[in-house]
Every structure is written in structure tokens, then in C-alpha cells.
Amino acid sequence: MGIQDIISGVATLAWFGAIAALGWLVFNSARGQRMGGSAAFVIAIAVVAAVLSTVAAGIVFIQPTQRGVVISAVGQGGIRSTALEPGLHWVIPFAEQVRLYDVSRRTFTMSSTGDEGGATVDEPIQARTRDGQFINIEASVIYSIDPARIIELHKTWQDRFQEGLVRPAARGVIRSVASQYGVEEIVSLRREEMTERITELLRKQLSENNLILQDFVLRNITFSEEYARAVEQKQIAEQQAQQAAFVVEQRKQEAEQARQIAQGQADAAVIAARGEAQARIIQAQAEAEALKQIAEAIRDNPDILTYQYIQRLAPGVQTIYLPSNQPFLLPLPQPGGATSGTGTLPAPTTGITTTTP
């Protein structure tokens, strides 16, 4: 309860007291009783009540979230040029009255949901896009009165600014901007850009009419049933295409993996073949070197060949038996290709030829 209400309450009680005292005075006078100073008492109570009523009519308390527009019957133009700031003020009783305006933030919502936490709710906006599709846009306009220009607002709109200005301005700007975009752009790519353009145009339009746009919220966008089904089918097709692309990529990776394995095996086979060939070359070189050394040893020691020949036959052999029809003796190997022995001999009658080493 404010001080103005308290003073008004006291003034009301004083008037009731004055009326009661006057009635008591009249009642006693009718009975022929002399009241003495009762009339003065009644007059005093009436004067106090009148003063309190006058004070209550002149005192105005402005809340921190309010501004007061003083409508004056004595001022030029019928209105004070400046608004009353928060605090206690005095106006001319019965000649001036104060119109209070709330300068805190207000929310005007256009949505299909009925309950929006106390905010003023209007129906969604139906707009047509650049490519002819119908969309329903749900949005909220958060705004406030410009405290520095509240006198102009009162002169132009008074308390009709929400229905007369905010609502048609918001709906008109949203429809106008939405018509400049295709439905695909609104859905995904350029939705934020569209929101920024709506905010900019709406801020300018409200500012020209003494209001401040605090924020614009694009809440939701819905489409016709036909377009929603088309979007759903497109999304399904895109998902299937992505799945097919994933399968193709997986097959490519598997093929690449198999190719790398085959390449590795081929490289291993080549390396193994090269290693085997190198080993054979080394072995052949070793054998050639061994033969070379053997040849050099035979050249320097011719008897080694005879010795090795005899050793190959058997240790301790003294006589070699040949068939009776063999006219030749086995020659001993000699260095340089020569042979030892006596040459060709006639076959003996015994059928056996002997030789002594």
C-alpha cells in the first residue's frame, strides 16, 4: 500500500466521521438540545477530510518500473512536456491526473500454444516463400516503451500500441522477409540470416514509434503436410544414399587392403627369389673358386690325382679282374691327359688279366 492510498483511506474515514458528527448534531437539535461547540467540531472534521482528500488527489508515487504522463487542464496543450520519473510527486489536485505506463519488458508471442507463461499470445503467421510454399512461423517479440519518448507514445498510441503497432508490424515484417527466401533456405542454410533481417527491420519500425525492440525470437517453422512428406522422403533418400556411399567406401577399403596384402606377398616372393638367386650365385662362385683351387693344387702336385684315383677304388687293392672278353687294361690317370700302362694286350686264355700297381 502506497502513501497515496494511506492518505486517501484517512481522508475517507474523516469524511465518515464528519458525516456521523453532523448526523448526531442534527439528531440532538431535533430533540431541542443545545450542543454548544458541536457545530465547530463537525466543521473541523469536515475541513480535515477535505484537506486530506485534496492532498491524496495531488500526491502521486511512481514505481521504479513506471513513468507518469501528466494530463493537465491548466497547462498549455493539455499535457506536461516531461514525464514523471520514479518517486513521489505532486500534481494540481482535481486539475491534473497522471497516466501511468509500465516501461519494463513485454512479450508478444505468435504461437499455436495457448499458454505462454502470461505473455500475450496471438495466432502463428502464415507466410508464402519465394518458391510458393506456405509456412507457419511462430515467433516472440520482446519490447519495451522508450522512457525518454513516452510523451510522444501517449499522444500517438496511448495504451493501444500493442494491438495497433506491435502486432501488425511484426506480422507484416515477418511475411515480407520470408517471401524473399526459398523454403529450403529457411529450413537450413539461411534461417539465421532471415532472423537477423527481421530483427533489424522490426527494430527500426518500433523505434520510429517510440518503442524499443529488446529481442526477436524465431520459435518454430512448420510446413504443409505435402511438403513435410516430401522433406521426409528426401531425408530418407539422402540417408539411403549415404548408406550406399558408406558401403561403396567400405568395399573400396577392403579392396585396397586386399591389394596391399597381395602386393606385400608379391614383394615377399620377389625378395625370396632374389635371395635364392643370390644364394645360388654365391654357391656357384664358391664352387668355381673350389675347382680353381683344386686345379691349381693338381697342377702343382700331379701325383695327387693318381693318389685320389687309387683311394677311390678301395684301400689295399692289388689286382683288378676284368671280363675275359675285355682286351684292354684300365689305364692310370696321368696329369695332362696321359695314361699309364703298357697299352693293348692280347686277351689271356684264362680270361683274367692282372697288373701290379
Q: What pLDDT digit, counting tens, does each position of 254-309 carry?
A: 888 888 888 888 888 888 888 888 888 888 888 888 878 777 777 777 777 676 66
Q: 182 pLDDT exceeds 50?
A: yes
Cell 486539475 -> residue: 95
Confidence band (pLDDT; 50, 70, 90) for 202? very high
Q: Residue 28 corresponds to which amino acid?
A: N
Q: What pLDDT does 178 receive?
A: 93
pLDDT grade, residue 319 (50/70/90)? Answer: low
pLDDT per residue as tens digits for the range 142-163: 999 999 999 999 999 988 999 9
The confidence score (pLDDT) of residue 234 equals 72
The per-residue pLDDT of the chain, averaged, comes to 79
pLDDT computed for residue 119 by the predictor: 65
Mean pLDDT throughout 82-108? Answer: 91
Which residue has cell 687309387? 310
| CB count in 10 Å sphere of residue 78 | 10
Which range in 192-201, 302-311, 314-323 is most confidently predicted, on average pLDDT? 192-201
Does the pTM surpass 0.85? The reply is no
Q: Which of 136-145, 278-287, 335-344 has the highest mean pLDDT?
A: 136-145
- Tell me: pLDDT of 355 over 70: no
What percentage of the chain reaches a pLDDT higher than 70? 76
pLDDT tens string 211-227: 999 999 999 988 877 77
| pLDDT at res. 320 | 58
Read off the pLDDT band of 354 (50, 70, 90): very low
